Structure 1
């Protein structure tokens, strides 16, 4: 699989590089990720709101910059991963910043065919983008994404900044709306999910709609 750079023109359809944020605000986040974020040897670990990030002196200003005063959570996703068999989206942008290089596997919401229980997406549409350590990137709300992938044996430690409550407990919808719009994809608070049949979440009831071969970039990063 071709691994593109976030500095390539092609990335502008999926997100934006925030290159002008002063290092005084990004470096404490990177340091906290490197120092405190757990990095399991097998699989990934996600924490929506991580104390080591939330208690940083720069956290209030950083949150204000990212979401303009909206209540915000600073969490992390860390581990070892080269595969993709699920994609999600939110109603807002997500911000990522890595203690080391990582890879985002992305598609666009408009590439989903059908709606609700009929929603499908061809896995061949997914593209890979490498994010250098210490570079803040915005992943647009209409960009499908999931856990990052590693670029080497050290794994990855990545900030995940989102509006407060995102990925929280699944809300209870009115039964009359259970199949309306994209409600059948709702998996957690502000988290709409579509998975491959090989995904563990498929057996747990997530909507199976990713078609084709699941993605593994292990050979591409070797």
Structure 2
């Protein structure tokens, strides 16, 4: 499997030169996620008190207000792909695998995406990566069936509940699922029942 240190990853993002030790130590003290579940918390006060939080805001995001949370749990499937109008920083507190694609490959007439175009990259524990705004991604996958733990840094308010009514949305607006979050789901994911746009075509990829 390719890793984020391989040149192929440069299409999707870059590895950041930051010290992640305090974060990985902090999240390792959290209770294990319930078997079979994936949890996402956009903002965790404990993480936002770390020096890494200020470094993310000031250096990586150019002094923008950001949020520092995590996505953790048990996952081995693609299920969906999302993108933002901003980069996302993922910090691997365990070895994990990212399934990624390119926003440019979304069919702009049907707003569908062929899962055959997805690539997988191993992110070694302790590695922080910036995923560019045009990089499609979703919840990481664990390695060898183990729980994954991933820090997530995004502009403040990303992934909060939408205030706008999108029930009659057209075009790309149909993909808007939360604040700064455009989502394309696979029919097998069940996210369509939550109002997500179902547009992933092909196999729901699994490790």
Q: TM-score, normalised by structure 1?
A: 0.87
Tell me how far apart the structure 1 counterparts of residues 53 and 197 of structure 2 sit (CA, whole Å).
Answer: 35
Partner of 1:182: 172
Is 1:167 the equivalent of 2:165?
no
Partner of 1:220: none
Partner of 1:155: 147
Partner of 1:102: 96
Q: Deviations over 1:124-143 (max 9, x none)?
A: 11110000000110111000
Is 1:66 the equivalent of 2:56?
no
Structure 2 residue runs of 5 or longer lacking an equivalent are none
Is 1:56 the equivalent of 2:47?
no
Tell me how far apart the structure 2 counterparts of residues 32 and 135 of structure 1 sit (CA, whole Å).
Answer: 15
SS across alignment from 1:104: strand
- Which of 9, 12, 17 in structure 1 is aligned with 2:10? 12
8 Å Cα contact 2:166-2:174 kept in structure 1: no
Deviation at 1:173, TM superposition (A): 5.4
Partner of 1:197: 187
SS across alignment from 1:78: strand
Partner of 2:33: 39
Structure 1 residue runs of 5 or longer lacking an equivalent are 218-222
Q: TM-score, normalised by structure 2?
A: 0.93
SS across alignment from 1:182: helix
Deviation at 1:31, TM superposition (A): 1.1
Matches within 5 A, 1:82-93: 82-93=76-87
Distance 1:89 1:40, change over 3 A: same
Is 1:128 the equivalent of 2:126?
no
Aligned residues: 207
Q: Deviations over 1:43-77 (max 9, x none)?
A: 21000001220122442233212211111000000
SS across alignment from 1:198: helix
8 Å Cα contact 1:37-1:157 kept in structure 2: no
Distance 1:209 1:39, change over 3 A: same
8 Å Cα contact 1:28-1:56 kept in structure 2: yes
Distance 1:162 1:38, change over 3 A: farther
Tell me how far apart the structure 2 counterparts of residues 170 and 38 of structure 1 sit (CA, whole Å).
Answer: 30
